[in-house]
Structure 1
Amino acid sequence: MRQLTILISLITFILLSTPCSASKWDVIILTTSGLNGQLVPFSEKSELNNGNMLRTFGGFARIQTVFESYRQKFPNKTITIATGDDLMGESIQDDQGKVVLDAMNRMGFDISTLGNHEFDRGSNILAKYLANKNFPTIVSNLIINPGSRLLKYIKPYTVIERGLVRIGFMGLILPELTMISNPGTTTSVNHDLLEVARLTARKLVNEEHADIVVLLSHISIDDQKLILESIPEINIICGGQTHKDIFPGQEVIARDGPTTGLMVQGGARGRFVGVLKLRIDDGHLENHEWTIIPITNSIQPNKETFDFIKAHMTKKLSTAMLTISTKPLDTEVKSIRIQDEPAGKIISKILMDKFKTDIAFQNSGGIRGNKIIPAGPIYASDIDTMLPFGNTVTIIKITGEELKQVLERSVQNLPESSGAYLQTAGVQYTLDLNGTPQTLNITKQGKVISIKTHGSRISNIKIHDKSGNYIPIVNDKMYSIATNSFLASGGDGYITLKNSKQKVETFIKMSEVIKSGLSKMNSITYGNEISTFNLNGDPFFTVSQSPDK
């Protein structure tokens, strides 16, 4: 964060204030990563004033201003790219991303790849989205069955020319796609990232005569580094999956041979626009300059796009107040994916009470926003932000023995964060991180087929009974669970839930259940002590119930 503060202090929209030699550079790549449907600016705390100062970042209309400024300064040299996870968030609740797409078309993006969240609503919805894009979509390691509508809109690679330079573009999506999203039965992923990257890059160089090759990545940082170190034909990787900020001076990846590789990435949700200037000489990358532009209040938004987004936000985002929380609710990734958080417990508790089940749980990766909702009113739009995927509620029955396997899956990756970590209600357990973590049998296409190692991290499981006590589970007893349709179908690797024979789909939208539950409460609060794995009894929350609700 110190680097970020220095950058913001020194770069007051550097592209507008610093004269540049346009002739020095042949290609200017403007990159965004994980826009997350963040149409409007957002605020987050900085390290200044003991972390109490809020700074405002992002906004599509401001990003467009940056794009247009570079296009004016470097005519016929710029390429604007998006690296996936752009189609998500509260702005796409009801229109399957039409507004996000329309805004990106207005901004003049040249090319993009896909992230896992583009598939959250299924391949058919994604195909409708892609059909109206004004710019190509490339993913090199997707396996799309014949007859799928996606075949028409997703290509493995393409070439863009700027002046005399031919730039080859390819894309990679993370191998876990089928586990953590909803691509359906017609789409899978080739897990051999190195082989796909090598073959595609060589095709771009040898057959398409690309001068340089750029990989648009929605894979891990480690996989990106391995690819750059192993495949000299790939010059640049523009990342998007990890939300990692790569500051100037951190972009060069050393490798054997005469060339270096470049790995760049801007901030998620439009916090930065990455600017990569390239000098190409006789078909070789000779020089570069990497800068990140903070998208702050110093940048005037493009008026047309600003007005377009404003009209949508006024129409779509509900400002109805549901209830009041006496304490902040944390939905930040760094917190909610490693431990129980009140924001997640509220969701599970409302599900359990509404459907009168023994237990309820919600995967932390399905709780979005990545922010702290301050104490005070909770609005309908807050819930739309937290639960943007349109999942419905499913009731499942499993045995106590199967419940243990579900909980083992939840803690498999700890102490590392994981979207599979469950926010639960109605259950307590003891965790031993020294125990054996659960492992899964996964096909090369990313499909989970069975549990490989059952795991031994979870013990002392207790269920909250009707008398208010926690009692040990019985292995062969059936327990009812309320959860979301994504987990019920095996999402995040929950093969035990997928295989359950006792499953009822309610077709009730989960976000509406949570809004309804909150609207029946005057206020909510929670205890000061949050034990990561053992809560001091349910109900965890103190609810002030209105007699009129």
Structure 2
Amino acid sequence: PSLLINHCALFHLRQIHPLSLSMVDRKPDPSATDKSVSSKFNAFRIICVNDIYTFDNASGHGGFASVSTLINRLRSEYGKNCFVTVNGDFLGGSSLAEQTKGKVIIDILNYMNIDAVVLGNHEFDFSTQVLEERISESNFSWFGSNVTSSVTEDHIPGTISTKVIKSDDGLQIGVFGICTPSTPFISYPCKTTQFSDPVQCSRVMIDTLKAEADPDLVVALTHLRQTGDLELAENINGIDVILGGHDHDPFLLHKNRTLILKCGQNGYWVGVLDIKWRRLNGSFEHYLTMSLQSTCDVDQDPGVLDIAGRHYADQNPEHALLDLDEPIVEMLGVPLDTRTSTLRVSEASSGNLVADCLYAFFTSYGAEPDLALINGGFIRGDKLYDRERDGSHITKRIVFEEMPFPKNAVCIDISGISLLGAIEQHIRDYPHASGAFPHFSSNVRIQFTHDKIAGNRIHLFTINNIEIDHTRRYRLATSAFIASGGDGCSHYYNTIVVPELPERRISDIVVWALERHRDQNTPVYLNVDGRITDSSSK
């Protein structure tokens, strides 16, 4: 066989123009006598998106409404020979999705005539039981090849492990779907929901597909980190294409005869896999072209906006009487930065703001916290606010959209040695982006060296300019998610939740703190002042 690659390189980009990667392959077709033989090339298209948490294109691109328009345009060029997938993380992650427990998303995807989805971690944000309810309301296929019950060993009701797509002109594509096995640590599946090893499960799925139909091509829909997709490509023969999710930046690569595509988050890009194929002289010949199509300046589908608007009105009748865009207080200092690319690898002004608000809130109620912490994955807007464009004041709408998870804040008592261990767990993936990356109140200073072994990286940890004492107990203000060991931070397991404190959502606490500044006629000064730094280069 011959292999032609236009671009054999890693693309990890933020620009808005389309990108593409192509290859051609010819292989013997043992069943050519049973399938149509043609000298002309036929065409099939797979369209995909992943990790969408927004409905409109408030940032100038992205959102379900623009994605719907672009998908319809791309699908119309191929008619029935087209398959549309969403590769995980769509049910949760926005305030409206949280309020409706994903119902608004199901209505939108049904309206968009999506063909299939693969389970991601956010599909379990409301429990496996609620997920089953959402599945029953949908009109599309759900892949969860490695997700089963530990009691029955069955897949989640309504999900499938494999499927063979058959085009009108005879192409057969085998499809399976893999969810990240980290889901129990970053979401809320039922305790009996288990996630098997992606590599082992994929081998079984390929064997199953070959036994069922011996498809011309095999496509894996995945919700794994980039390293997980690369592991599949490196260790498994038989996967022609991996269409992935979970990572929030776009990614195209050819690895070990497998093409890998991720679209990035929020529908900023829509991924396209074009397949040109024919059967000739006993061989199946195919050309694969991948591209990323930007949703910048794409019109929004009014049907999607109408569905979201109706759900919003049903869930928030009181907001009809409120002006969510009324300025609360002026923000001075550095810009408000909620970009994923900042929050998940370094100190960010938004993370500092939230941590400071938590600290101020519990201090005002007499809880006497020693420090406050929030994980970078809690803030979702992925935006760098510009004062000339967005104004210098923050509003309730900004707060609620940036912090959609309705999670309460808590205070926990934790030993110094466990606190140190927990922070080591927060930064274990660094320099790779992680939603666990921590952001602290202004009285904390942490320095770490990332080229040391994970778990032994921190060499400076002070609270109020005093080195942390391994033997004393500290009071930490954080989210209930983190306090319960979320993001795989198991050192929080042996902690005590402080009782009889107000139960407030973190977004409401931030509004409370901002309104205190307003009432005192003082602006909020945003800063990035070295609360957590990597000293490796020093």
Distance 2:116 2:528 in 1: 48
Change (3 A) 1:40 1:529: closer
User: In angstroms, what is the RMSD of aligned CA positions?
Assistant: 2.9
Segment of structure 1 superposing worse, 161-170 or 131-140: 161-170
Q: TM-score, normalised by structure 1?
A: 0.79
Supply the AA of the counterpart residue of 1:419.
Answer: G
Structure 2 SS opposite 1:330: coil
Q: Which residue of 1 aligns with 2:261?
A: 264
The aligned runs of 1:405-424 (5 Å cut-off) are 405-424=421-440
Q: What 5-or-longer segments of structure 1 have no aligned partner?
A: 9-22, 44-55, 440-454, 465-469, 535-549
Q: Which residue of 2 aligns with 1:496?
A: 491
The aligned runs of 1:24-63 (5 Å cut-off) are 24-36=41-53, 38-43=54-59, 56-63=60-67
Cα-to-partner distance string for 1:490-510 (whole Å, 9 max, x where unaligned): 111221212224554854322
Whether the 8 Å contact between 1:90 and 1:385 is mirrored in structure 2 is: yes
Q: Which residue of 2 aligns with 1:182?
A: 188
Change (3 A) 1:245 1:132: same
Segment of structure 1 superposing worse, 76-85 or 133-142: 133-142
Q: Which residue of 2 aligns with 1:166?
A: 172
Match for residue 324 of structure 1 among 330, 334, 345: 330
Q: Which residue of 2 aligns with 1:137?
A: 142
Q: What 5-or-longer segments of structure 2 have no aligned partner?
A: 1-11, 20-39, 364-368, 534-538
The aligned runs of 1:70-81 (5 Å cut-off) are 70-81=74-85
Whether the 8 Å contact between 1:274 and 1:291 is mirrored in structure 2 is: yes
The aligned runs of 1:329-368 (5 Å cut-off) are 329-356=336-363, 357-368=369-380
Whether the 8 Å contact between 1:93 and 1:384 is mirrored in structure 2 is: no
Distance 1:528 1:360 in 2: 16
Distance 2:113 2:526 in 1: 49
Change (3 A) 1:177 1:529: closer
Match for residue 152 of structure 1 among 152, 157, 160: 157
**Per-residue deviation, 1:160:** 2.8
Distance 1:314 1:377 in 2: 25
Q: Which residue of 2 aligns with 1:307?
A: 306
Structure 2 SS opposite 1:39: coil
Whether the 8 Å contact between 2:248 and 2:340 is mirrored in structure 1 is: no
Change (3 A) 1:348 1:196: same
Q: Which residue of 1 aligns with 2:272?
A: 275
Match for residue 96 of structure 1 among 88, 96, 101: 101
Q: Which residue of 2 aligns with 1:518?
A: 514
**Per-residue deviation, 1:397:** 0.6
Structure 1 SS opposite 2:99: coil
Whether the 8 Å contact between 1:395 and 1:506 is mirrored in structure 2 is: no
Distance 1:422 1:181 in 2: 18
Q: TM-score, normalised by structure 2?
A: 0.80
**Per-residue deviation, 1:396:** 0.8
**Per-residue deviation, 1:144:** 2.5
Q: Which residue of 2 aligns with 1:449?
A: none
Whether the 8 Å contact between 1:404 and 1:458 is mirrored in structure 2 is: no
Distance 2:46 2:136 in 1: 25
**Per-residue deviation, 1:532:** 4.4
Q: Which residue of 2 aligns with 1:117?
A: 122
Structure 1 SS opposite 2:421: helix
Q: Which residue of 2 aligns with 1:108?
A: 113
Supply the AA of the counterpart residue of 2:144.
Answer: V
**Per-residue deviation, 1:215:** 0.5
Supply the AA of the counterpart residue of 1:417.
Answer: A
**Per-residue deviation, 1:125:** 3.1
Change (3 A) 1:125 1:388: farther
Match for residue 207 of structure 1 among 212, 215, 226: 212
Structure 2 SS opposite 1:390: coil
User: How many residue pairs align between the two structures?
Assistant: 476
Distance 1:6 1:271 in 2: 11
Match for residue 509 of structure 1 among 505, 508, 531: 505
Structure 2 SS opposite 1:26: strand
Supply the AA of the counterpart residue of 1:358.
Answer: D
Distance 1:149 1:519 in 2: 51
Cα-to-partner distance string for 1:53-102 (whole Å, 9 max, x where unaligned): xxx21232332233333443322211011101122223323111222221
Supply the AA of the counterpart residue of 1:409.
Answer: Q
Distance 1:481 1:149 in 2: 41
Structure 1 SS opposite 2:203: helix
Q: Which residue of 1 aligns with 2:482?
A: 487
Cα-to-partner distance string for 1:303-355 (whole Å, 9 max, x where unaligned): 43343345556775743433221242111122222332221122122212222
Distance 2:304 2:236 in 1: 40
Distance 2:250 2:457 in 1: 36
**Per-residue deviation, 1:420:** 1.6
Whether the 8 Å contact between 1:436 and 1:456 is mirrored in structure 2 is: yes
Match for residue 70 of structure 2 among 62, 66, 71: 66
Structure 2 SS opposite 1:31: strand
Whether the 8 Å contact between 1:127 and 1:149 is mirrored in structure 2 is: no
Cα-to-partner distance string for 1:270-325 (whole Å, 9 max, x where unaligned): 1122221213435946122333322132x343343343345556775743433221
Structure 1 SS opposite 2:100: coil
Distance 1:165 1:475 in 2: 63
Change (3 A) 1:527 1:393: closer
Identical aligned residues as a percent: 23
Structure 1 SS opposite 2:471: coil
Supply the AA of the counterpart residue of 1:206.
Answer: A
Q: Which residue of 2 aligns with 1:217?
A: 222
Distance 1:527 1:279 in 2: 53
Distance 1:406 1:6 in 2: 41
Supply the AA of the counterpart residue of 2:402.
Answer: M
